[in-house]
Amino acid sequence: MIPLSPQTQTSIDFAADLFRQSKHAVVLTGAGLSTPSGIPDFRSTGTGLWSSDEPMEVASLNTFRTAPEKFFHWFRPLADQIFNAQPNAAHCALARLENAGRLAAIITQNIDTLHQKAGSKTVIEMHGTMQTLTCTQCYHQVDAQVRLASFVEKGEIPHCPKCGQVLKPDVILFGEQLPQAAWYKAQQAARQCDLMLVAGSSLEVLPVAGLPMQALDRGAHLIIINNTPTYLNVRADISILEDVAVILPAIMEKVLNG
C-alpha cells in the first residue's frame, strides 16, 4: 500500500462523504484511467501518442478513407496494447461502486472496454469502442475479437465477410461526429447527477470536456482526480493530483466499508 499524505487522505475522506450523500453519482473517465493498464494516453510529454504522431495524419476519417493502410500501420501497436490489457484497480473500484448502487453511470472517453471487463454495466462510450468493426461499404457490423487478433498478430487489414471492403473499428476518428445516442445519454446523465467524478481526464477534448460544467450549472458537486490540473480544478469541491489507480480504490473502500 502506497503511503498517502495527510492532505490526500483528508481529500479521500471528503470524496467518500460526498459519495455517501449522493443520490445520483456519475463518473467521467479519460485516458489516464487506463495508463496503469499499459495503454498510453494521447498528450503526456514523451509517452503520449501525439508526442510522436500528428493525429490528423494517422487517425483522421480522411486518412482512413484515402489511405486505410496508413491508419492501420499506426493503429496496430495500440490495438495490441488494448487487446491484451486488463482492468486495473481504478476500473475495478468503479465497478464495485456501481454494483453497490453508489454510481449511476460511467461516461468514458476510452475505447478499450476495460470498464466492461471490470464488471461495470452502465457505460456510455463517447469515442466509440474496440468491440466491433463496421464495413465502410455495406455497413455490415462484425465482432472485433477474432479479426483484431489476426490483425494484431499478422498485420492483416480486416475486410468485410460480405462484400470484401475494409472494416473500420467502431472508434471515433478525427473529423468524425460523436455517436448521437451516446452524446444524448451523456448530457442527460450530467444534467441529472448530484455528483460528478472526473477521473483520468485532462478535460481538453470538446464537447465531452464541457459535461462537468453542465453538472456544475445544475448544482452538482465535482471531484477531479488526475495527474495534472484541468481547467475546472478551481471549481471542484475536491481535486487530487495523484494516481487514479491508488486514489479511486481508497475512495471506494471508504464509501463501502467506512
Q: Which residues are catalytic?
A: 127
Nearby residues of 245 by Cβ (< 8 Å), 6 or more positions away = 36, 88, 89, 90
Please give the order of strands across the beta sheet that includes 141-143: 141-143, 128-135, 167-171
CB 38 within 8 A of CB 81: yes
Amino acid identity at 144: A
Question: Given phi > 0 = left and psi -120 to 50 = alpha, else beta, which region is 223?
Answer: beta
C-alpha cell at 51: 508526442
Q: What is the DSSP string of 130-174?
A: EEEEEETTT--EEEHHHHHHHHHHH-PPPB-TTT-PBEEEEEPPB
Which residues sit opposite 143 in a β-bridge? 132
Q: Grid cell 482526480 — which residue?
A: 225
